[in-house]
Amino acid sequence: MSLGTSKVVFQVLSRAVPQTGYNDSLVNSSELALHSRFRVKCMKKRSSRHRDFIECSSMLQSRLRTQQFQWMGVSFHDYKTYSRPWWHTCKCQQAESVSGVTTGDGNGSRLVNDVETTNTLSNGMRAKHILEFEDVQAQQLKREKEVLASNLTNGSIKGSFNTIDLNSIEEEAWDLLRESVVYYCGNPIGTIAAKDPTSSNVLNYDQVFIRDFIPSGIAFLLKGEYDIVRNFILYTLQLQSWEKTMDCHSPGQGLMPASFKVRTVPLDGDDSATEEVLDPDFGEAAIGRVAPVDSGLWWIILLRAYGKCSGDLSVQERVDVQTGIKMILRLCLADGFDMFPTLLVTDGSCMIDRRMGIHGHPLEIQALFYSALLCARGMLTPEDGSADLIQALNNRLVALSFHIREYYWIDLKKLNEIYRYKTEEYSYDAVNKFNIYPDQISPWLVEWMPNKGGYLIGNLQPAHMDFRFFSLGNLWSVVNSLATEEQSHAILDLIEAKWSDLVAEMPFKICYPALDGQEWQIITGSDPKNTPWSYHNAGSWPTLLWQLTAACIKMKRTHIAAKAVEIAERRISRDRWPEYYDTKRSRFIGKQSQLYQTWSIAGYLVAKLLLADPSKANILITEEDSELVNALISANPRGKRGRKNLRQTYIV
């Protein structure tokens, strides 16, 4: 069915009058005030003593262009498809000319007058064009009704409407994603966390979060829009190792900020002029005051994806970028008191950024750490100064891979082994190496574990196994081959077996099950936002769709992701793209959920793009490294370690 046919079908069945004017809900007169804050103020410097300030309003430019289209009989639905750059980009020019229209006093009043003049001049032409088009439209409508009747007869109309609805959801998502773009010195630099025009309670959702931008960046890469990702990579690199402190303590060298904001501040020595600055947050202003561990790891993953998608390897080969990679690696590979190859972190240092009992060695960080190590190894340029770093990197990859695959894996067979563990074992041959007490096995797990399937547990420490299922860590372990091929299939088997728990009415549970009762009080500190089945305590997060899709493509089981995306499409647009959903079956929008959440929007778009062309997932997927497998076999961590093999070092 043609596009024209689809539109008339929609109009006939909904008994709607064909639109010929501008009626977009975002810019009608009742809501124009809400969007006045989106105007971009720019400063042009003519000389050292004279500066002109210009206010460019993308809203006014959009309205002007729309008025010019009205008399041509083009609806806004058609218009926004062809003039999207005008809707999302405010191009500042000299005060004498904005899009060829004199601005007069520089505040846009002359521009509004010109719009009115254009309307007056076009009134006569509009009547003429309406008369000319009436006959054509009548004939076209007659033909479309005949086609409609034919389609209703042969039952083909349902598929056409599904296509119309899905296309409109994707178009809306792209419009919202582009509206969330943040500019610095005129260049796109990232996307804000959320942009809800109906709410003034923005908290820190008006900032660019590194972890939140990853799905946005992937979406732009898959769309062939590389500049914003390149700018994001290079500008965030400038924020690395910022001099900010918290309680007189500076962040570790190589740390990436959790987020940043573009601020306009007075120019030094001249109160009449301003400049834009990037203001990063390393956790000193965040809720809980926790530094982000995952920001630098995501940054490396995005850098590799940019190079593989765009073919532009010059960015990762830059000296400053190479230095940035090495600083992140040295920070993560630094020796400390920890005896495990996993990365020791505090609670709230990743996507789950509140107290949820994941301090220690949470799976999410280990999966991202492993992925970042693999990505960095492929991007580091060989030189004398990096030889030791690459050796340490390879050693950690081998140890980390074995540790996660062996000790984090749980299925019905392994669960039965733990159930029969002996405790207080002392020897190199101990089976219960971490002194896990069988009584730690929760009753819910005994009933929940399917006969077919398994997963990587959430955390492992001495005498403690967190048996909760954490989605991001498991999905990313599939994507980057931290899990073996057999384990990866088992993880997807479990997702299918426990579909009603992990997906239900909106994908995807961030973890399962929820903490409740006294356990919730003790572990979360009675967190009122992390109540059971809400937020990070087993809430449902649509942004996880893109990671689920990448994992399913990796294992050639795309039907799982396609089913999840189809479920999301039933509600997510109608619910205004929430940050997360509440209740065990995801039936309610989160009680404190931000609407028009950018990474919910971007996660959906990435999932759709990957399903449309699964080969594009190669920019994210890491296949199992044969050298790494051989190293695992030769290292033989299962073997006995006698004292004669110990190498002792004495420092005098």
pLDDT tens-place string over residues 27-54: 333 333 333 333 333 333 333 333 333 2
Q: How, if at all, do strands 40-45 and 51-56 pair?
A: antiparallel
Number of domains in the chain: 1
pLDDT of amino acid 163: 55
In this structure, are residues 103 and 111 in contact, taking their beta carbons and an 8 Å threshold?
Answer: yes
Question: Rg of the chain's alpha carbons, rounded to an integer?
Answer: 28
Give me the amino acid identity at 440. Q
Q: Is residue 495 part of a domain?
A: yes
| 574: CATH | 1.50.10.10
Residue 257: count other Cβ atoms within 10 Å of its Cβ: 28
- pLDDT, residue 140, reads 53
| 65 within some domain | no
Residue 58 within any structural domain of the chain? no
Beta-carbon contacts of 51 under 8 Å, excluding residues fewer than 6 positions away, are 43, 44, 45, 272, 273
**Residues near 59 by beta carbon (within 8 Å), at least 6 away in sequence:** 27, 32, 35, 36, 38, 39
**Domain-located, residue 363:** yes
How far apart (Å, rounded) are the C-alpha atoms in residues 268 and 622? 48
Query: What is the predicted pLDDT for the residue at 139?
Result: 56
> Is position 293 within any domain?
yes
Residue 44 DSSP symbol: E
Quote the pTM value: 0.74
Task: Using 50 as the pLDDT threshold, list the residues of the chain that sit under it.
Answer: 2-134, 136, 147-161, 639-652
- Using the 8-state DSSP alphabet, how is residue 332 labeled? H
Distances from the Cα of 8 to the Cα of 30, 221, 299, 553, angstroms: 29, 35, 47, 37
**Domain interval for residue 476:** 174-638
- Whether 398 is covered by a domain: the verdict is yes
What phi, psi does 123 have (nearest 5°)? Answer: -60, -45
Angle made by CA atoms 7, 13, 16, in degrees to the nearest 5: 70
Q: Are 467 and 445 in contact (CB under 8 A)?
A: yes
Cβ–Cβ under 8 Å, residues 550 and 620: yes
Helix (H) / strand (E) element for 459: namely strand 454-461
Question: Nearest Cα to 594, choosing from 579, 583, 606?
Answer: 579
Q: Is residue 610 part of a domain?
A: yes
- Distance CA(21)–CA(73), nearest Å, equals 7
- Return the C-alpha torsion angle 155, 157, 158, 163, nearest 10: 140
